[in-house]
């Protein structure tokens, strides 16, 4: 019985358990927040919400994607079996722990270890074959764990402004992962599907998509030269917008599996630009909130649902196009969630009633979008590949 469990298809590659767990947890946590959950005394209100969306939901998908992709990038065996079980256990303990004030410290330890162990697993494959182009990805994953650790360090004593910047550091690091992954896969997927030449990007532009947000995150994390952090955000966001224009082809419009990725990258880039501009205004106002939620709902929401849909099809040997039944609807629901959450950021200072309605509707749409993914993909991710190969 134990051997059967260890050899279950769910443990074949990292995307299998983490895509399903992230989708399920994303549904639960966003609905809790949208309908009034206020966290605990140790991790209250927006700090709980942002913590779980950045290092809980999004972090699981980032780790799943990188640990799945690194096998392709390096030709090394994927992270699987007992190593993957340990990662899942650390992530689950970190998620449960934040719901109780007495165990938030356990989330500090297990959540940070989750990222550092994932970075180690990725690093073993990358350094073994001297895949130098992926060294920076390993470093970025380890740094993402560091943002988690430093955020928790600011909890005792409770320092609201430092915590806010700590959350922004984690979010900006996610935008860096969006830059890294987006530059690698969006023009490639577009060219392959439309049968057109792939748009090439200079190395400095591809590195800048990760390095600029990474430097911005470092400054936010350590509360240092925030105006410079703003400049980096403006530069990174502007670079992302330029890339979106370069990659665009009207052929993507009827292809939901493509436009969802382009739309998500554009939303994240505009959000990063807006968040960078907000650093010159000071405080946590409308501009900062708009930037944060363009990244978190527009960038993260659209790209996670799009990437989970696309990569899980490829790794379970299913046709890549068109989108599975119901997923195009899920994509549009996430677009609507983005629009409503951006509206809520503006309504916060205009009309509290409109703000609450926009927030709740956005949360529902976000959750239903993930629910459709979970419903469609749970049977596929818990069974072997269609072609009988490992993975």
Decide which of 270 and 6 is more confident: 270
pLDDT at 223: 79
Which of 104-118, 212-226, 326-340, 356-370 is predicted with the least confidence, judged by mean pLDDT? 212-226
Torsion sign over Cα 314, 316, 318, 324: negative
- Is the bond leading into 157 cis (omega within 30 degrees of zero)? yes
CA distances from 207 to 70, 80, 177, 181 (A): 18, 29, 11, 11
Q: What is the mean pLDDT of residues 355-372?
A: 95
CB 309 within 8 A of CB 327: yes
Rounded to whole angstroms, the Cα distance separating 367 from 370 reads 5
Q: Is pLDDT at 121 greater than 80 in this prediction?
A: yes
Residue with tokens 């560091």: 146
Rounded to whole angstroms, the Cα distance separating 170 from 262 reads 22
| Beta-bridge mates of residue 39 | 44
Residue 7: φ, ψ to 5°: -95, 10
| Beta-bridge mates of residue 44 | 39
Q: What is the mean pLDDT of residues 267-295?
A: 91
CB 230 within 8 A of CB 278: yes
Q: What is the pLDDT of residues 229-250, one digit of tens each?
A: 999 999 999 999 999 999 999 9
What is the DSSP code string of 130-167? T-GGGHHHHHHHHHHHHHHHHHHHTTTTT-HHHHHHHH
CB 352 within 8 A of CB 282: no
Banded model confidence at residue 184, pLDDT cuts 50, 70, 90: very high
Q: What is the mean pLDDT of residues 59-67?
A: 96
Rounded to whole angstroms, the Cα distance separating 180 from 203 reads 11
Q: What is the mean pLDDT of residues 214-218?
A: 94
Q: Is pLDDT at 84 greater than 60 in this prediction?
A: yes
Q: Is pLDDT at 13 greater than 80 in this prediction?
A: yes
What is the DSSP code string of 256-281? HHHHHHHHHHHHHHHHHHHHHHHTTT
Residues 6+ apart with CB under 8 A from 172: 213, 216, 217, 220, 233, 272, 275, 295
Say if domain 2-381 classifies as CATH 1.20.210.10.
Answer: yes
User: Cα 300–326–92 angle (5° rounding)?
Assistant: 45
Q: Is pLDDT at 8 greater than 90 in this prediction?
A: no
Residues 6+ apart with CB under 8 A from 301: 264, 334, 337, 338, 366, 369
Rounded to whole angstroms, the Cα distance separating 208 from 58 reads 21
pLDDT at 3: 64
- Tell me if residue 38 falls in helix, strand or coil: coil
CB 60 within 8 A of CB 385: no
Q: Indicate the pTM of the whole model.
A: 0.94
Q: Give me the percent of the chain exceeding a pLDDT of 70.
A: 98
Banded model confidence at residue 38, pLDDT cuts 50, 70, 90: very high
pLDDT at 386: 87
Q: What is the mean pLDDT of residues 36-53?
A: 94
Rounded to whole angstroms, the Cα distance separating 173 from 233 reads 11
Question: 310, 288, 301, 303: which is closest to 336 by C-alpha?
Answer: 301
pLDDT at 352: 82
Backbone torsion region of residue 131, taken as left when φ is above 0, otherwise alpha when ψ lies between -120 and 50, otherwise beta: beta
Q: Is pLDDT at 350 greater than 80 in this prediction?
A: no
Q: What is the mean pLDDT of residues 274-280?
A: 92
Rounded to whole angstroms, the Cα distance separating 293 from 299 reads 8
pLDDT at 328: 97
Torsion sign over Cα 215, 65, 112, 162: positive
pLDDT at 283: 61
Residues 87-116, buried b or exposed e (16+ Cβ, 10 A)?
Answer: bbebbbbbbebbbeeebbeebbebbbbbbb
- Is the bond leading into 322 cis (omega within 30 degrees of zero)? yes
Average pLDDT score, the chain: 93
Q: Is pLDDT at 2 greater than 60 in this prediction?
A: no
């Amino acid at each position: 019985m134990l051997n059967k469990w260890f050899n279950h298809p769910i443990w074949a590659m990292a995307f299998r358990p983490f895509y399903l767990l992230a989708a399920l947890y994303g549904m639960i946590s966003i609905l809790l927040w949208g309908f009034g959950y206020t966290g605990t005394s140790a991790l209250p209100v927006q700090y709980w919400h942002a913590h779980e969306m950045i290092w809980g939901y999004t972090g699981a998908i980032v780790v799943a994607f990188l640990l799945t992709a690194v096998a392709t990038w390096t030709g090394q065996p994927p992270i699987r079996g007992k190593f993957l079980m340990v990662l899942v256990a650390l992530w689950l303990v970190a998620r449960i722990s934040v719901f109780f004030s007495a165990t938030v410290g356990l989330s500090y330890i297990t959540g940070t270890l989750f990222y550092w162990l994932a970075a180690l697993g990725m690093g073993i494959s990358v350094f073994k074959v001297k895949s130098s182009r992926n060294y920076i990805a390993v470093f970025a994953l380890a740094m993402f764990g560091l943002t988690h650790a430093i955020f928790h360090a600011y909890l005792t004593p409770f320092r609201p402004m430092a915590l806010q910047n700590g959350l922004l550091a984690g979010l900006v690091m996610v935008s860096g992962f969006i830059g890294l992954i987006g530059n690698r896969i969006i023009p490639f997927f577009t060219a392959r599907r439309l049968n057109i030449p792939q748009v090439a990007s200079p190395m400095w532009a591809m590195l800048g998509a990760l390095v600029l947000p990474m430097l911005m995150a470092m400054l936010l994390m350590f509360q240092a030269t925030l105006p410079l952090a703003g400049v980096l955000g403006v530069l990174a966001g502007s670079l992302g917008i330029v890339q979106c224009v370069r990659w665009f082809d009207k052929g993507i419009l009827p292809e939901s599996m493509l436009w969802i990725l382009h739309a998500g990258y554009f939303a994240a880039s505009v959000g990063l630009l807006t968040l960078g501009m907000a650093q010159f205004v000071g405080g946590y106002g409308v501009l900062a909130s708009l930037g944060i939620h363009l990244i978190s709902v527009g960038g993260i929401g659209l790209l996670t649902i799009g990437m989970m849909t696309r990569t899980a099809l490829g790794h379970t040997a299913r046709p890549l196009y068109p989108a599975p039944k119901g997923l195009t609807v899920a994509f549009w629901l996430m677009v609507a969630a983005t629009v409503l959450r951006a509206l809520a950021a503006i309504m916060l200072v205009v009309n509290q009633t409109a703000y609450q309605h926009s927030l709740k509707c956005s949360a529902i749409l976000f959750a239903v979008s993930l629910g459709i993914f979970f419903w469609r993909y749970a049977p596929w991710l818990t069974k072997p590949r269609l072609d009988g190969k490992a993975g």
